[in-house]
Homo-oligomer: A and B are copies of this chain.
Amino acid sequence: MKHTDRKRADILAAAVTEFRTYGYDNTTMDQIADAAGASKRTVYNHFGSKEGMFEAIVREMMDRSDVLTGGEYDAEQPLPRQLKRIANEIVDTLKDESYRDLARVVLSRLLMVPEYSALISEQTQHINTMLSRWMRAAHRDGRLRVPRPELAADQFVGMLMAYAFWPALFNVEKGSTTIKQSIFVNQTVTMFLKGYEC
């Protein structure tokens, strides 16, 4: 890796860390330069402005967004097993500390600067597409009756996020009873399948 590319990568990494920790507004460019072990001028040579830097990060985040992979329907496996696997994969992703930190930064900015919303909708669309494909397959296979796969996918993901994402994102601890992931996933999959079984 060339020296200049290395520098650029260092700066980007430092920026991510700082933004994660302090938020966009409370991170200064000097701070980023220090953390990256680079001079402020170099930072500005690579990314034209603070805003430009943020965009670079968002772009990077998008490029890595093909995280969720295996959601293939399997005619041999029982439905609960399959759906639990998918659900756990999603929940694990959402629960990941670094993912959440990044989401916090991006979303907090997104709330007031709607320019990036298209990018974000791509993210959520990705999961939805995977899930609705699975449901369509199960439907075709005659094991499920899902008239609107996209709607069903939204319902399913909505429940998972209500458990694993939103409360943690906003630092809201759920009431006294924090339920174990396995219990929640089992219960949700069971209810969902019962609601859509033939």
Contacts and interface: CB of A to CB of B under 8 A. Distances in A.
Interface of A: 22-23, 25-26, 104, 107-108, 110-112, 114, 117, 120-121, 124-125, 128, 147-148, 150-152, 154-155, 157-163, 166-167, 169-175, 177, 179, 183-184, 187-188, 190-196
B112 A23 contact: yes
Contacts of A190: 195
A194 B146 CA distance: 13
Given A151-B179, A155-B188, A171 B125 contact: no
Given A158-B162, A162-B158, A177-B150, A114 B171 contact: yes
A104 B108 contact: no
B111 A172 contact: no
A interface, over-half SS: helix
B173 A121 contact: yes
B25 A175 contact: no
A125 to B, nearest CB: 6
Contacts of A155: 159, 162, 187-188, 191
A165 to B, nearest CB: 10
14 contacts: A23-B111, A108-B108, A111-B170, A117-B170, A121-B167, A125-B175, A154-B159, A157-B162, A158-B158, A158-B163, A159-B159, A161-B162, A166-B166, A195-B195
